[in-house]
Structure 1
Amino acid sequence: MNGAKCAACITAVLFLFAFVVKGAKSIICYKCNSKYDSRCGDPFDPYTIGLVDCNITEVPSHLNGYYPVLCRKSVQRIHRSIRIVRDCGYVEDPAHDDMDCYSRLGSHDTDVTHCSCTSSMCNGSGRTQPYVTRLIVAVCIAGLFLLAV
C-alpha cells in the first residue's frame, strides 16, 4: 500500500471512529416541512429527503448561544390540517427520555406534538439504534472517500 492510500485509510478509520463513539458532537438530522414537501409527512420517505449536519446550519436568532443536541419531529394540527416538521433541536427537555413525545394544546383548535431524540437521523419515522445509524453513515462516507482516492 502506498503512502497516499495508507493516509486515506487512516483518515477513513478516524472518521468512522468519530461517528461510532458515543458522545461525538456532530448530529445529523432530517430537515423538511410537509407543507412544502409531502415526502416529509407520514408515511415518511427518508430516501429522498436531505440530511443536514446540525453543527453547520444557521442557529435561529432566538437560540443564539445554544448548540444542536438533538433531532426533532413536530406534528402540528391546526384546524384539522396536519403539518409535520423535522429539524435540528437545540434545547433538551430533561423531563423526557430519548425519542419521547409530548403534546401541547393551543387555542382555537390547535395542538402540537414534539418528539425529540439524540442520535443521528432519528427524526425519521422508524427507530434505529444510535450506534447502528452512526455506523451506516460512517461506512458509506468512508466508502465514498476510498473510492475517490
Structure 2
Amino acid sequence: MSAMNSLHLMLIVLMTVIAATQGIKCWFCNSMLDPFCRDPFDNSTANPKDCEIAEELAHLPNVPATMCRKIRMKVNGHWRFKRDCARLGEAGVGGDTRYCIYRSGTFNIHMEYCTCNDKDGCNSVSHNKPNIQLVTTTSTIFMVLIARWLLR
C-alpha cells in the first residue's frame, strides 16, 4: 500500500471516529416563550443544541441525551410545544419514528411525545402519520408480485 493510500485511509478512519463521537443536535425551544416553536415549525428563532454537551440533570445522573424529542401538550384548551434533547425512551413507537406516544389525562390535559434519533434536527417535523393510501398500494403490489412468483 502506498503512502498516499495509507494517508487517505487514516483520514477516513479519523473522520469516521470524529463523526461517531459527536452527539445528536436537536432543536431547542418552547412555544410559551417563542411562538415560532409551534407547528408548523419555523426554526428561524430556535437554536440547535448539541445533546452530547447538554447539562446533566440531577434526577438522571450519568444518563446521556442521545435523542431528540418534541412534546405537544394541550393544557386548559391551549396547545403548547417543546423541543429538546431526550434521555429516556425509544425513538418512535417500536423503533418506528413515524409514530408518537399519545397520552390523555384528567382536566382536559393531552400530551404527545415524538422521539427520534435518525438525524440532527429530527424534532422539527410535525406529527407524522403513514400515508395509508401509499401503504395499501405498496402492499397490494407486493402481494401481486408474490402471487405471480408462487404461480410460476
- With normalisation by structure 2, the TM-score equals 0.65
The within-5 A match list for 1:14-93 is 14=14, 18-19=18-19, 24-93=21-90
- Structure 1 pair 25/77, CA: closer, same or farther in 2 (3 Å)? same
- Structure 1 pair 88/78, CA: closer, same or farther in 2 (3 Å)? same
Higher relative contact order (CA 8 A, sep 6+): 1
CA displacement at 1:111 relative to structure 2: 1.2
Identity %: 31
Deviates more, 1:103-112 or 1:87-96: 87-96
Are 1:69 and 1:92, in contact at CA under 8 Å, matched by a contact in 2?
Answer: no
Are 2:37 and 2:82, in contact at CA under 8 Å, matched by a contact in 1?
Answer: yes
User: Which structure 1 residue ranges, 5 or more long, are not aligned?
Assistant: 1-9, 128-149
Q: Which runs of 4+ in 1 moved over 4 A?
A: 13-17
Are 2:28 and 2:46, in contact at CA under 8 Å, matched by a contact in 1?
Answer: yes
Larger-gyration structure (1/2): 2
- With normalisation by structure 1, the TM-score equals 0.66
Are 2:26 and 2:84, in contact at CA under 8 Å, matched by a contact in 1?
Answer: yes
User: Which structure 2 residue ranges, 5 or more long, are not aligned?
Assistant: 1-9, 128-152
Are 2:54 and 2:65, in contact at CA under 8 Å, matched by a contact in 1?
Answer: no
